Every structure is written in structure tokens, then in C-alpha cells.
Chain A
Amino acid sequence: MQLTLTVNGTARTFDGDPAMPLLWYLRDGLALTGAKFGCGTGVCGACTVHIDGSPARACTTPMKSAAGKTVVTIEGLDAAHPVKQAWQEINVPQCGYCQTGQIMSAAALLASTPKPDDEDIDAALRGNICRCGTYQRIRDAVKKAAGVTA
């Protein structure tokens, strides 16, 4: 079965295992390694991408449900995006492994909730684990990107 989808603006065709998670298609198939593998079960957020504008865990999204959808990964999110900029201004990353997923979740939050408060941030980002413990700066960076005072 052949299926099509759009990844970062490019039309793609996929004819492999329709049960294959989008994450492995992105990483092994398209060499888009910005979405990370952290758990494979949807509980860490490292693989977060946008599907039709909503945040989604690529590791638990089978290719068949990505068919016909528009996927944006960290590589496809504008480098000038306020979230990416705020992340750099506040020096959020330590090891950085979780940060692409954090940024994608944060960007999706701001798209739906332009002025989030602490509870909105907790709700949107509690699915994204950072083992290095950068949460305080993540919170500050989200607020900075949103233009709300920390």
C-alpha cells in the first residue's frame, strides 16, 4: 500500500509497513533526526512533531494515520520562530536531546494559547521529559516567547 504525506513542505510517498511509527520514517527514511527517540511509547515527548498543526508523538503515530497529513518537524519550524529564539536567549539546553521535542510542544502551545500561564505550560509540557532538569528555563523561555512576564 502506498501512502502520501507532506513533510516540512515536501510531498512524500511511503510504501513500507503502514504500522511503522512516523518517527522511524522521519529518522531512518528521511534522515530528519531532529525528532528524537526517548521512549517509543508516547510518554517522554522527545519525538514531538506537528501533524496538521497539532502536537503529536511521532513514535506512536503509525504511518497509516499520517497518510494525507501535513507533518512539520523541528527542522521545518522557522529558525526565527520566537520559541527557538527564546530558547537560545535563555540558554535552555543542557545536553539538548529533549529540547527539539520541548520546542515543538511549546510552539504548539503558543499557537493555541498565545498568553499561557503556569498551569497552561504544565499542561502542555508535562508530556515532555527533560532528564537534565531544564524545566525552569523552559518555563521562562515559553513566557519570553509569548511576551508574558516570568
Chain B
Amino acid sequence: MNTVIIPVSRRGFLKGLVSAGAFVLGARVLPLEALAAAQASTAPWEPSVYLALEPDGRVLIIAHRSEMGTGIRTVLPTIVADELDADWDRVEIVQALGDKKYGSQNTDGSCSIRDFYVAMREAGATARLMLERAAAAQWNVPASECRVQLHTVGHQASGRSAEFGALVTAASALPMPAKEELRFKQPSEYRYIGKNVPIIDLEDLCNGRGTFGMDAVVPGMVYATIERPPVLGATLKSHQDAAALKVAGVEQTVVLETTGYPVGMKMLGGVAVIARDTWSAIRGRQALKVEWDLGPHASYDTAAFKKTLIATARQPGRVARSGGDVDAALASATRRHEATYYTPPLSHAPMEPPVAVASVKDGKAEVWAPTQNPQAVQSVVAAALGITETDVICHVTLLGGGFGRKSFPDYCAEAAVLSQKIGKPVKVVWTREDDIRHDFYHGECAMHMQGGLDAQGKPVAWLQRSVFPPIGSIFNVEEQYGGGQLNMGWTDVPFAISNFRAENGPSEAHVRIGWLRAVANVHHAFGVQSFIDELAHLAGRDPIEYWLETLGASRKLDAELKAQGYELRGLSGQPQFVPDTARLRRVVELVRDRSGWATRKTAPGHGWGFAAHRSFFSYIATVVEVRVDDDGTVHIPRVDMAVDCGLIINPDRVIAQFEGAATFGAGVAMVSALSAQGGRIREGNFHNYQVPRIHQAPLRTHVHIVETTEPPAGVGEPGVPPVAPAICNAIFAATGKRVRELPVGKVT
């Protein structure tokens, strides 16, 4: 990333957000790809962060990331406010509209802090310096003697001081300082960074005043629910709406064209029932009669599909990384071991189902939605309506959870197309059944592993094959291989095993596949971290000791990965982001020591398990304690997580994300699974698609943070992957039963 701070005078699109007299700075963040490409010189990279100082003393920070529970809407602005040394009580945070001018707004990939930290600091430091210079000019003193202190510029020698508001006009007339002139705070000077500033929405959320997408209201709007194709690619054969139209409150029905291939992020189509309130729309839809031509994906049956994936995983696949001679090393190993793992399809199931309000008038669309990706809303809605992206405005509401689902704006396109067709603002409400049956799923995965140990029990050969329907299939129906998902915990396995091969076999996709919190890391960490635990037990060794020995000497992995066919590119190849086994070792040792691993008690039914995984440039090690009742019920009294996610802005929000990840991971391990028959997802609500409840969640998660000045890395996702294998390794320690298939349910 490279950042540029610019004064903003053309501010048409900030209209209504800032006053005419405000001093506005923008921070442009140029992605590396843009620098490398020819487009760097031509692309209109507008600021992604805006900082406005108002003459009345308020400081406005335009937050361009979506808030779905990480605290990002609060945390990013604290960075600017800290560097500016603004008074947090006089900072206002304004949610940005979806607009390309902000650069990427896609809030996924755990990248918000990582990508914007530097820009936020530079914006704050620039404004601070300009305020100091403005004061110096007014007082006729050297700028170097003026210092900002909590929303005020002061000059010690003369005892003069002025509030920000009084200096705004003068500051905005000054030339922009060069980057080299900026002075950044020392960590000891931080007022907010590293402190636990509460999220700005806290009080509202506890009093029912937070406005989520589900709460959005536009005057004159009607409500819609949609009967969508029950099988991917099914087409509408016939429908009867007479009974639906008789339901009180129902106004009309509208047929939405079903999507062709590739499905992309487009809406699915179906039959919409329009009504004056949500309940009437739900009732009307129950009275619809719809027949479908189901098409080829009606063959999808998860039980049969699982067998296909497992059979594929037992066959040689496409080699994604290879070092040494695995086949020879396996053949000559003293002991050989193999295992096949399976993880089921999963649904995001954010507590707020997809929902959107749209108003389309005169060729322009306005959308209010809980979205992780407002610019995708612009492009998908524009394509659906046949208008240009710049004619789509996207208001981002609070998100009632996202987990990746709300990166896909199909539900926004539905609302927009309906509004265009009926000439009124429309709110499309997804029921929970709609959500679970029409998700962009986390696909199932089969993994086959083979290991060879030498006479001392040391692993000398490791073969792993992974097979899963890839996300790429939604964009290209022919795609059967994992692509970038292989670099999520598969090609980047950090072990120093001289003969190592990672493969990927082909898989069809029969449903829409999407990103779910931590993506392919979730199943890959389960396979890899379970298998190394199996080898440790086979060798009769302590699992953590064995793990650390297998990790090998402290090193950065770029050279050896490249030599074995996996070259780290882009951000992943930047020196500060290259996988570093020293950082991994540090979190493993930390969790071992803090959890009390060495002195763990071995009461009957109790077991401790370990796993560690790096993803989204963060290093996480986990120890889990389980207690298994006689009837096989698993309790999780304690989880310890050691975390190196680089520099931390708001420790409390980071800890909260890892607590949440422990629960999310416990769901993956213990209860969550989808099944399909006849191409249809059979589960529909939380009674049969289970997610963890309070009595199933870990009772206590201890998060141990490594203090580091490494650049900020991911927080929202990387906690998830090591949790499920650590739980399953603990179940093995407790019961001797090896879990190779998720979810566990009860241990039998």
C-alpha cells in the first residue's frame, strides 16, 4: 500500500455530510496492484478516508467500512483521532455511501486495519501539522514551538492557545506538507490506540436504537418476499397467484427472471409477493403455487456427493506444491499412516437475514442495505437494472452479522428490480428459511492425508489432497479447482518436512459457493492440524512438542515455498507479510505456557487438544479443554488462544473477535451441517441448522495477545480455523476416539 494525503476542494459527493467552511483532507490508498499496473497513472484513485474539521470544532471522520460487529466503524477513526490528538467526544463518525471514490470498501478478508492504518495516521498527522502551522502564523512564532494537545494548539512560551475550530479556515488555506515533514506520535503518546475505546454504537445497540438493514424504512415503501428456485438453475414452469392475491394486504405478485449461468452475485429470480407489510407478504407467499423445472442440479445429494469427494481425494490430483520425493519417502518410511477427513457444507446464518430496501426512479437507484461490499451493490444493481454504476447510491446500514454472506449483493438487486418494475420503494425481506436455502455456501470438503515416520517417529513424508467445490464456480461454471483457496492453509503448511506434496482434486458445484469467515482455512486447518496430532500420538510424543519440532527452525517461508512451486505474490510476498515460523512458534509457546498445558489434569472424560494456524497474516495457537459426559455430550470449559495479529488498535475489540471465533469454531466442530437431497437444502431454520447456543459455547476463552510492532493483520477471521481441530484433538485425548468427520454432535 502507498498512501497520499490530499486537500479536498471538489467535494460534491460529501455534500450534506460536511459544511461549506470545513477543512477537508482525503487519504488515498493505492493498492500495490495499482502501483504496478499502468492504470496507476490514469485511475481516478480518490481518497478512501475523509477527515473534516469544522469551524465549530467538530471533527468528522467519514468511515468507509461496513460495521458488522468487529468495531471497525469505531476503530479506524480512533487512529485518525489519535494522530490528530482530537478530543474523542468531539469526533463524529459518518458512515460513507457506497462509492468507488473510496477505493475498495469490501469489508472482507480481514483487511480493514491492515490496509488503512497508515493512511489514517498520515491523515491525522497532516491535519495536526497544518493546524500547528496556522496557529504559528497567527501568533508569529515558529511552528516547531506549537503543539497540539487534545483539540487545542498551544504555544508554551507565550501561553497562547487556540481550539481547532478557530484555526480551521486558516489551516485549509495552507499548502499541504510533504510526507517527510510529518511527525508521528510515539507509542507512549497514544491517547486512543492500544486503549479500549468503546464502540460508538454501544448505547444505541443496548437500547434497540441501532438501525440495521432490517430496520430501514423509506416513505411509501412496500414489502416483498420471494419464492426462489429451490434448486440452483431451476426455471419457473408455472405459478398461480390467485390465492396469494386474496390475502389481506397483498398488492401484487411479480415474476423475477431466473439467473442464467454463471450465477455470479446476481439475484436468483423467482416469484415475488408485494404487500403493505412484512406479515402480509409472508402470508401471501405461503398461498402461492409455483412449479419449477428443476434442471441438472436436482441430482445433488450430499450423502452421495460426499462419497464422490472422498473417492476423488483418494486419487492423485493436481499438484499445488511439491518438495522432495514423497512417494519414495512414504515407501521407505518406518511407519506409515493415513486418514481421510470430511467437513460438511455450512451456511453463514448471520442473525440478521439478508434484507434490502431500494428505490428506483428516473433511471437512478438508491439502496439501503446491510452490505459488506457497497460497491458490489452498485455494480450488481446497475447490471440488473441496465443503468450505470454511478447512478446507484448505496447507503450502508449496520449489519446484523455478515461472516461473508453480505459480500454478495443478490438481495439488493432483487429489491432494485422490484422497485423498478412496480414504481415504488421496495423492501425485500428474507426469511431464515430463505437465508439457509439460498446462501452462498461454504462447500463441503474431503481431505486425504498420508504420512511417513522415520525410526524416531519424525515425519519424513507428508501427502495431502483436498477436494471441494470452489468459489470460482459461481463465476465460471467450468471451474472445478480451488485456485486461491488452496493458499488458505493448504499450500502454505509451515512444517519442515523434507518430502511434502499438496494436491487438489476436481469437484463440481451444485449450489452457489461463497466466502465464509476464514474460508478454506476452516477445513484445511481441520485436516492438517488433526493429522499432525494423529502422527504425534502415533509417535508417542507430546503433541505440542512434536508440532514445534515439525515446524522446524525459525525461518521465513517464501524461498522454500517458491522452490516447491508456490510463489507468494502481491501483499503475501511483502517481507512483513511472508509466513514467519518464528512468529508461529512464539504463539505456540505462549499458548502452551499460559494454558497450563504441561500441568494439565487428566481426570476421566477430560482431554486437552492443541492446534495452530496462520491466516490473513495473523498467527494463532489454540489449546482447548473438553469434558465428555458418559452419554457423549461434549462440554468446552476452556479455550486459550495466543494471538499475533500485529499491532493492535483496540485490544478489547480484538479479544472480542477471538472470543467470537472460539464459539464460531465450536459450531463448526460440534453442531453445524447442511444436507441436500434432490438438489434442495433440507435444513431451513435454527432447529435443524444448528449454531452454538450459550450452553454449547466455550465457557471461558482466554485470549493472550503478543505485543508486537509488526503491521496490523487480520482479526475477524483467523481465530476460527484452529478451533475445530483443537476441539477434536482434545476429544481424542479425552476418549481415544479420533474425529475425522464434522460435526461431532455427540461422541459415540
Contacts and interface: CB of A to CB of B under 8 A. Distances in A.
Interface of A: 16-17, 20-21, 24, 27-29, 31-41, 43-44, 46, 73-75, 79, 84, 87-88, 91-100, 103, 118, 121-122, 125-139
Given A21-B279, A31-B217, A129-B691, A95 B398 contact: yes
Contact of A131 (B70, B208, B349, B652): B349
B234 to A, nearest CB: 24
Given A38-B353, A126-B695, 19 more contacts: A33-B208, A36-B214, A36-B400, A41-B432, A92-B206, A94-B660, A95-B69, A95-B352, A95-B402, A96-B69, A97-B352, A99-B205, A103-B206, A122-B694, A127-B693, A129-B686, A131-B664, A133-B663, A133-B664
Contact of A38 (B201, B217, B351, B652): B351
Nearest to B201: A96
Interface stretch (B16-24, B697-705, B739-747): B697-705
Contacts of B402: 95
A125 B277 CA distance: 30
B656 A28 contact: no
B248 interface: yes
Contact of A74 (B208, B211, B398, B657): B208
B57 interface: no
Contacts of B400: 36, 95-98
Interface of B: 67-71, 196, 198-199, 201-203, 205-212, 214-215, 217, 223, 248-249, 277-280, 282-283, 349-353, 398-403, 429, 431-432, 652, 656-657, 659-664, 685-687, 691-695, 697-701
Nearest to B436: A39
Contact of B691 (A94, A97, A131): A131
Given A95-B68, A95-B400, A139-B694, A43 B206 contact: no
B215 A132 contact: no
Contact of A29 (B205, B277, B398): B277
Interface core residue of A21, A91, A139 (most chain B CB under 10 Å): A91
B163 to A, nearest CB: 30
A35 B208 contact: yes
18 contacts: A17-B283, A20-B279, A21-B279, A28-B279, A34-B208, A36-B400, A38-B352, A40-B282, A43-B685, A43-B687, A44-B686, A74-B207, A75-B207, A103-B206, A122-B695, A133-B663, A135-B693, A139-B694
Ranked nearest first, the 6 interchain pairs of A and B with the lowest CB-CB distance are A34-B208, A133-B663, A97-B400, A95-B69, A94-B69, A96-B205
B692 A88 contact: no
Nearest to A17: B248
A131 B666 CA distance: 11
B698 A126 contact: no
A139 B656 CA distance: 14
Nearest to B214: A37
Contact of A34 (B201, B209, B351, B694): B209
A136 B697 contact: yes
A34 B204 CA distance: 10
B351 A133 contact: no
A21 to B, nearest CB: 7
Contacts, number: 183
Contact of B70 (A21, A36, A94, A127): A94
A136 B699 CA distance: 6
Q: Which of A21, A34, A35, A38 has the most CB of B within 10 A?
A: A38
A50 to B, nearest CB: 13
B685 A41 contact: yes
Contacts of B349: 131
Best-buried of A16, A17, A31, A96 by chain B (most CB within 10 Å): A96
Contact of B656 (A29, A97, A127, A137): A137
Contacts of A36: 212, 214, 351-352, 400
Contacts of B692: 133, 135
A20 B694 CA distance: 30
B72 to A, nearest CB: 11
Nearest to A138: B694
Nearest to A25: B279
Nearest to B660: A133
A37 to B, nearest CB: 6
Given A39-B432, A43-B685, A131-B401, A79 B207 contact: yes
A99 B206 contact: yes
A28 B283 CA distance: 15
Given A24-B279, A129-B693, A88 B686 contact: no
B398 A96 contact: yes
Nearest to A134: B660
B652 to A, nearest CB: 6
Contact of B431 (A33, A40, A93, A118): A40
B362 to A, nearest CB: 28
A39 B660 contact: no
A94 B207 CA distance: 14
A32 B431 CA distance: 19
A84 B206 contact: yes
Contacts of B700: 136
Contacts of A41: 432, 685-687
Given A37-B214, A95-B351, A43 B207 contact: no
Nearest to B698: A136
A132 B68 CA distance: 9
Contacts of A95: 67-69, 350-352, 398-402
A40 B432 contact: yes
Nearest to A118: B699
Contact of B401 (A88, A132, A138): A132
Nearest to B658: A133
A118 B399 CA distance: 30
A28 B400 CA distance: 18
B649 to A, nearest CB: 15
A18 B417 CA distance: 32
Give the residue among B278, B350, B701 with the most A Cβ atoms within 10 A: B278
A97 B206 contact: no
A101 B70 CA distance: 20
Nearest to A121: B694
Given A37-B214, A38-B352, A95-B69, A73 B208 contact: yes
